[in-house]
Amino acid sequence: MQIDLIASLFSLAVLLILMGLWMLAASFTRDEAHRQQMRLWALANLVMGIAYGLFSSRLTLPLSWTLVVANFLLALAYGAYAVALASLFGQRHYLLIKILSISLGTFALYYFEIIRSDDSYRILLLAGLTLVVWTLALLHCIGAWRQQHSPHVIFMTLTLASLILVSLTRLLAAWYSSDFGYQTLPDFSAIIKTTTFVLILAPPLLTVGFFMICADYTQQRFKTLANLDSLTGINNRRATLALAEQALANQHRHGGDLCCVMMDVDHFKNVNDNHGHAVGDELLKKLTALMQGRIRRGDIFGRLGGEEFALFLPNADEAQAAKLADTLRQAIADTHITTTKGGALQVTVSFGVAQRRHRDEPLSQLLSRADSALYEAKHQGRNRVVVM
């Protein structure tokens, strides 16, 4: 079956422009954290659509437009793809390398094809123009895949690897035939047909893959936010208790100690009444940061509500838990917390500690005993640690 290459290129140009406009519109309804990356990708699709439109006009427009400008825009769009991926994955952009490779490749293509009218190096020049940005985009995806085995990231990785394989295949075919200028490789040879088909399919596939990755990241971000306290950024009550249940289940299976530390800011109502709720919120955030810097990795720390916090310590007995609680108590008592209003506040915190008595003790009972210890600490005069 004969393929109408010109019609295929024009159809791809229209499709990419439509996909660019679609992603641009979609970016206004998606998570704000990924809007910039989606808009950059949309812009890249629009640029790539123009590039393929120029490719489809090679019978009517001059070579400087259909070859040099079109391939420059194509490489620029793929460079934008790579930057969008790096930004989405939180990786280094390598922007200078991408700009230099595209600039040098475009200059070399212009010099040989337009100034010298020499097309004997065309395959080398076209491969060099895009191979660097494809490789960097592939490395961005591989880095993201190592952190999280997402099927959509794997899909993007395989698509980019296919593009690189296309360039290497064309280079190998050119080397085998001693022709880097398409002189003995007709437009519709098996190699050119296959590799051109991959090049045509790649941008729409990459766009769908990128959109799905953004959707995955948005879903993951919302899931994370649902487990965090909106004020302090630590675990909220639901997440804290869920993690505590997991810790109790692990202790039941593997043994070891587990302690619960309940804590409550002393006279916090006075802070709100005398300084305002904004200062009270700021105080809670700074107290949270102070305590976070002193607990162990693996400890479960969360805000249960108001000025009340809970800390679960796997593999710690009540003596170790009491020692950590007293360290936190002393650090807070010794700290003057400066607020944005310029005032310095000094507050204290009371702590109640309870160790799980046996492996079948439910979380509710452990929390109740720790809460009773906290109540006793308040009753004894506050700013102290009581072990129940």
What's the pLDDT tens digit per position in 230-250? 899 999 999 999 999 999 999
Contact 38, 31 (CB under 8 A): no
CA distances from 107 to 97, 113, 134, 348 (A): 15, 10, 19, 68
Closest CA to 66 of 127, 130, 6: 6
Q: How confident is the model at residue 181 (pLDDT cuts 50, 70, 90)?
A: low
What's the pLDDT tens digit per position in 319-341? 999 999 999 999 999 998 887 77
Given this model, what pLDDT does residue 332 score? Answer: 94
- pLDDT at residue 255 greater than cutoff 60: yes
Full-model pTM: 0.70
Q: What is the DSSP letter of 186?
A: -
Given this model, what pLDDT does residue 16 score? Answer: 94
In 184-213, which positions are buried (b, 16+ CB within 10 angstroms) versus exposed (e)?
ebeeeeebbeebbeebbebbeebbebbbbb
* Average pLDDT of the residues in 95-118: 90
* Average pLDDT of the residues in 293-301: 93
- Taking the C-alpha atoms of residue 66 and residue 74, their distance in angstroms, rounded to an integer, is 11
What's the N-to-C CA distance of the chain in angstroms?
83
Task: Determine whether 313 is exposed, middle or buried from the number of CB atoms within 10 Å of its CB (0-12, 13-18, 19+).
Answer: buried
Region of poorest pLDDT, from 56-65, 184-193, 345-354, 357-366: 184-193
Given this model, what pLDDT does residue 89 score? Answer: 92
What's the pLDDT tens digit per position in 21-52? 999 998 888 767 789 999 999 999 999 999 99
* Average pLDDT of the residues in 154-173: 88
* Average pLDDT of the residues in 202-224: 88
- pLDDT at residue 184 greater than cutoff 70: no
Q: How confident is the model at residue 182 (pLDDT cuts 50, 70, 90)?
A: low
Token pair recorded at residue 255: 């043994």
pLDDT, the chain, mean: 88
Closest CA to 328 of 305, 353, 357: 353
* Average pLDDT of the residues in 117-128: 80
Closest CA to 300 of 326, 262, 346: 262
* Greatest distance between any 2 Cα atoms in the chain: 94
- pLDDT at residue 188 greater than cutoff 80: no
Percentage of the chain with pLDDT > 70?
A: 95
* Average pLDDT of the residues in 8-33: 88
- Taking the C-alpha atoms of residue 72 and residue 46, their distance in angstroms, rounded to an integer, is 14
- Taking the C-alpha atoms of residue 36 and residue 376, their distance in angstroms, rounded to an integer, is 53
- Taking the C-alpha atoms of residue 67 and residue 122, their distance in angstroms, rounded to an integer, is 10
Contact 242, 228 (CB under 8 A): no
* Average pLDDT of the residues in 215-223: 84
Type of residue numbered 270:
N
Q: Alpha-carbon Rg of the chain, whole angstroms?
A: 31
φ/ψ of 343, rounded to 5, equals -85, 155
- Taking the C-alpha atoms of residue 345 and residue 351, their distance in angstroms, rounded to an integer, is 20
- pLDDT at residue 150 greater than cutoff 90: no
DSSP E strand boundaries for the chain: 258-265, 300-305, 308-314, 337-338, 344-345, 349-355, 385-387
Given this model, what pLDDT does residue 171 score? Answer: 80
